[in-house]
Structure 1
């Protein structure tokens, strides 16, 4: 069965989604800086809602599900229904930054694999205290092809005098086999009985809405017989539900074949067919008919795709880091002005605490723990200087400036860039190298003068 996704439509809306996510990210950053301003979180929620609606429109299930969970967490943050606001903000920011990368993977790999973003989906759900998703919840086989109901003429042909007796005998055989399987007794024989029952029912329900159930059930039995499907509690429960469908058919007669099995039962049976190795022609045919390899890809494929998505979207990250570096440059400029001055306005250093705290908060949301720790240490130093608890000597001020330079360089290194961008030079703001040289030389001269004075005094 061909790919059901419209990648041309995705290409059309990707640009709009990227711009909307950028606005969502900026609104979230503004909320982090001022958590009392709930308007910013409302803006973020609105933007994420727009992304969710767009992805629903183009019918990309995995991406739409990710956007839906992002929207739910944004709403929970707005309504203050999260246990830890800091963790929730961090997870939401990670999702906003990773969404463009996931859409790029969908576009380039030509497949939407919800299983790839399962860890992120569960992080979003855990942040608001929801139950975690499993592989089964994300399993979405192609069940769009529905068989039409048979006409009254066809049903009349199948409603023979011996049909009720035949159906009762088949159910008795199925129940005997089911009891043996539940008790784990003589599995090869009981699975053989079950396979014969399903084969007869396939013939009886050929081309009817109920027919696919027996085909899928036969695939599950083949998987059990070969060891490709694990013999566990869930499988036994599903086989009991299949028996109930046969019971319904016994009660309704030929009319019952026009009623398809419940979608949930069909989907759960297909999940185990999808997990079975494609050893038999039947299982291969079922995987092709219901696009099971796409719905439940091989674990190696999922791991490879997750590796491709490791870390947020580089373009978005570059934009965030650029804003952080600009803020760091402003702080360093203010510090440099203080160093060049008479250093009498110690209280002016207190003004640096606010931008440094904003930088630390943004780093926390991005999950950059080490740079954040360094910034928090400098906030403590600046606070102590502003209160007069520490002397504003050259060594202390140089340590603060050096720490800020280190954080800036670390952030630029984390984002990196394409080889082309690196060849052209980084676009991230940096402190003027000449200014740094002058500052270091001035401090070196001061140190040499002090050493000279000490030597002369000693002599």
Structure 2
């Protein structure tokens, strides 16, 4: 028997007609609460919908219809305002169901995951717990992959390092939960989990950090959205690590493992570690990406709302137009000065119009003060044609444009154009802050690049079994990093980098110390911690959470190297 989306044509016309009837009866009942027959007809129609979907075995749609019917059955005749939420949930559920079936009718593949938001909304309205993202995902969870041991450390030392790795994971997790430096946070989490997997490989639950490391790597590479549920999942991983450190016989929750495997399948990346995990558990990547899933959910719920993003792009275009006009006027002024005559151009009028449009656009999106800064420039622009203009006359407008550009360049969620001061001094200060921020960003990029190159060189040193030539440039690279951190006002981080440089120079290059993988892993832990600190903007922890520089200092002490910062 044909089932699923291919069988939809068998019941298509009747199914859509029944959905329309159910929606019509329900809408009338919302207005005429005293008419219980309308509610009863709606319930009967929803029951028929569920029966038809059960017949053709359309899993996600069948479950959505079932949840809708459950809520509808619980609504009494003459339902008061206390049932408004339930009625709206039913209406939304029917709307999503109809849109989903329309997509299947147009030839799109089955994707029951699209229906989970509507299903969970109905479950919450009925007092039931939400279903997890992985509800429709099938995988065997009884597999126990063998994880190779990469360390010869004793149990006590492995436990100590594993606790330090959990601290490192917590630092990255905190940034991830707060949506701060998401990529850097995920990278740090992956590093901590990889090390934890190697250190805890012989425990009952040693497979969990091994799987979680692959999932975090896939999460970053696949650019998955950091939803509330996914944040909670990675927080559960931290709790599992805590229990594993306290009890080597602890068995991680199967639900946590399944969620991790689902996200890995959704990420669909081709890295060695993610592929190894997928092979071990016998599944392949899903037939859709996270971006496609989110786009599909928005299509079902209604048109997406990316207005602010579109407006930002429009503002940038208007800003570029104004800057181009200023460049043209500047060229005309220089040519006119050489020929001892005033420029005659309609660019002044165009500049007046474009600056006015840009100011009004900013005001329209609620950025009144920034718009007023530009509006205050208009009287001067209107006089440009009628007076002997010099380049200095363009300075106030250039400052105002730099201010707008700096505010558009702020990280999402930080700062606001609404708080722009209107005084001239305030504009100049804002521009100066922008330029200072650009310089600081350059130093951060240089420091991050230096740390990345140094870690790559250490990896090559390990792969070559101790060829010190690979480390020749590392001290100079780390000195550059140290200088950047010092000028950025992070003396402790700079001192920790100096300690790493000293260890590499004295022990690995000059001392010819044996190339021990475990030792180099600890050195990499220190550099990874400093790298995360740099990528996070170089800010100290203020809320009692594990400080990433403390973890770097602990790693340096574990190397047997002394430092004032450690």
Classify the TM-score, shorter chain.
0.3 to 0.5
**Bigger RCO (CA 8 Å, 6+ sep):** 1
TM-score (ref. length: structure 2): 0.37
The structure with the largest alpha-carbon Rg is 1
TM-score (ref. length: structure 1): 0.43
